Amino acid sequence: MGTRRWAALAVAVAAGLWWIPVSAADAPLQVYLSAPGRAAAGEDVVIEALIINTGDSAVTFGYEAGVEGLKADEAALKRRVWLAAKTVLPVEWHAAAEKEGEAKFSLSIDEEPAAECRMSVVAGTAGRAVLAFVQPLEDRLTVELPEAGRAFAVDVTLTLGAAGELDYTLAGLRSASGFSTDALIARGIAPAALGKAGHVPELEVLYGLQDSSGGWGATPMAAPEAVATSHVVFWLGQLATAGGEVNPSALDSAVAYLRKELPNAGPEVRAWILAALAANDRATKEDLASISQEEAAGLSLAGRALAEYAGVAVPRAQGDRDGLSAFEMFLLVAFAPMDKMGGPGPDLQMLVMLRGPAPRFDTHEAAMYAMALGALAADYGVDGSADVEVGLDGAETMEAALDRKRPWDRFSLSATAEPGKRKTLTVRGDSDSNVFCRVVVRRAD
């Protein structure tokens, strides 16, 4: 494993207040702090930091974390450490959100403020879901909550067409926390590439985490490998296409790393490498020839989609798509014209159902889902509107007016049933476009 490059790591502010890196005073350190933007009272949360020594000499320092509205192991909040030159120290804390309101986590280096993050703590949504589903909303949806005499927290998310689903997904990507390669792509690079490209602070972190070999690992301390590097390089290409600035030196090093890995990778990984190169107009005839016609015929449908995107002559794929994973289906929609892949492809409803009722956003699957939605948006754009009412048994009804300007909305409701009785959730819609409804119910007592 090579060494990390820390040159030119700038102070930056992400698109949410929970990720605010600040330089430590009088020290060659950069501090990046990340935490979820939203938590439930009683929920366990993970706060992560990267402390980077950008100097040419080792440093010894102390760090101390402060918590407000969070309960954490006090013994873990304070440490004194030695950090070699040009290296990174990842730190992780586990805490529990205490009560509804705002929580704060701060970090000091040698008693000087270095970084802080805040999170919104909401009531009653912690714990495992006891009911979760997503489905198209027609005129009326009625759901009886699963147990009598219990208190529940109910989350209802409504999206209007592909554009609403895309907007909802991009908002989720921007809220992703952590410093894994996929989380950094999801939080900053993919939304900028699929929306309006601008300043992307996550780029500086990624450049800092790039190994001297040119590659990236899946996490800050993991060894570089071809798939994680392909993901980064692919999205750098998408960002550049959208008008974003990409460091040419970092890209050149990554391309050289991928070309070095190409001959020894399996065919599916080679397809990812070629797609990453093609996204940056770097796939040469020699690169494309690394997948033979025999290998191309043996690729999965997703592998064929990647290879065809890169420019490999791929045989048409016939047959059943029912066995494909959600990720593979998103790749097919994002990359492959369906008439070239053996018949009609999945529609918007199929993709939404595959994505599920309570999706994660800190994964590469989530980023590729957003890209797939972008590919469908031209066919399923927001041409209409929807008026939706959400209520629980005669309680005050919440209303949403979905349209092009606000194509998705979310509601949180609390329900306490009397002994021996169940509460009923009702969602009514008046729509001239596709509306999808996600419902997640958790015990609140």
Share of the chain above pLDDT 70, in %: 86
Residue 8 has what pLDDT?
27
Mention every residue, 6+ apart, whose C-beta is less than 8 A from residue 286. Answer: none
Q: What DSSP line would sit under 345-364, residue for residue? A: ---HHHHHHHH-SS--SSSH
* Tally of CA atoms within 13 A in the half-sphere of 250 that contains its CB: 24
pLDDT for 310-355, tens place per residue?
Answer: 999 887 655 456 667 888 888 888 876 544 444 445 678 889 999 9
Residue 241 has what pLDDT?
94
- Please say if the pLDDT value at position 255 is more than 80: yes
Task: Give the DSSP H or E segment for 45.
Answer: strand 44-53
Structural Rg of the chain based on CA atoms: 24
The band of 174, judged by pLDDT with boundaries at 50, 70 and 90, is very high
d(CA 371, CA 106): 35
Q: What DSSP line would sit under 284-344, residue for residue? A: -HHHHTTS-HHHHHHS-HHHHHHHHHHT-------S--TT--HHHHHHHHHH--GGGTTS-
Residue 192 has what pLDDT?
94
CB 431 within 8 A of CB 382: no
**CA-based angle 92:98:101, to the nearest 5?**
105
- Please say if the pLDDT value at position 378 is more than 80: no
Question: Virtual CA dihedral for 254, 260, 266, 269, nearest 10 degrees?
Answer: 10
Query: 3-class DSSP state for residue 167?
Result: helix
Tokens of 370: 């957003």
Residue with tokens 């980064």: 232
Beta-carbon count within 10 A of 7 CB: 9
User: For the chain, what is the largest distance between any 2 Cα atoms, rounded to a whole number of angstroms?
Assistant: 71
Ordered by where they begin, the domains of the chain are 22-122 (2.60.40.10), 129-159+383-443 (2.60.120.1540), 161-377 (1.50.10.20)
Q: Taking residues 47-57, report their average pLDDT.
A: 89
d(CA 51, CA 31): 5
- Please say if the pLDDT value at position 393 is more than 50: yes
Residue 216 has what pLDDT?
97
Which of 11 and 411 is assigned the larger pLDDT? 411
Long-range contacts of 135-140 (CB under 8 A, 24+ apart): 135/353, 135/436, 135/437, 136/349, 136/434, 136/435, 136/436, 136/437, 137/386, 137/388, 137/427, 137/429, 137/431, 137/435, 137/436, 137/437, 138/429, 139/428, 139/429, 139/430, 140/426, 140/427, 140/428, 140/429
* Phi, psi of 180, rounded to the nearest 5 degrees: -65, 160
* Phi, psi of 6, rounded to the nearest 5 degrees: -115, 5
Residue 10 has what pLDDT?
27
The band of 18, judged by pLDDT with boundaries at 50, 70 and 90, is very low
Residue 297 has what pLDDT?
87
pLDDT for 93-117, tens place per residue?
Answer: 999 988 888 999 999 999 988 888 8
- Please say if the pLDDT value at position 394 is more than 70: no
Q: Taking residues 1-29, report their average pLDDT.
A: 42
- Please say if the pLDDT value at position 21 is more than 90: no
The band of 15, judged by pLDDT with boundaries at 50, 70 and 90, is very low
Tokens of 129: 């879901």
Of 168-172, 261-265, 394-398, the poorest mean pLDDT is in 394-398
CA 339, 234, 239, 189 torsion: positive or negative? positive
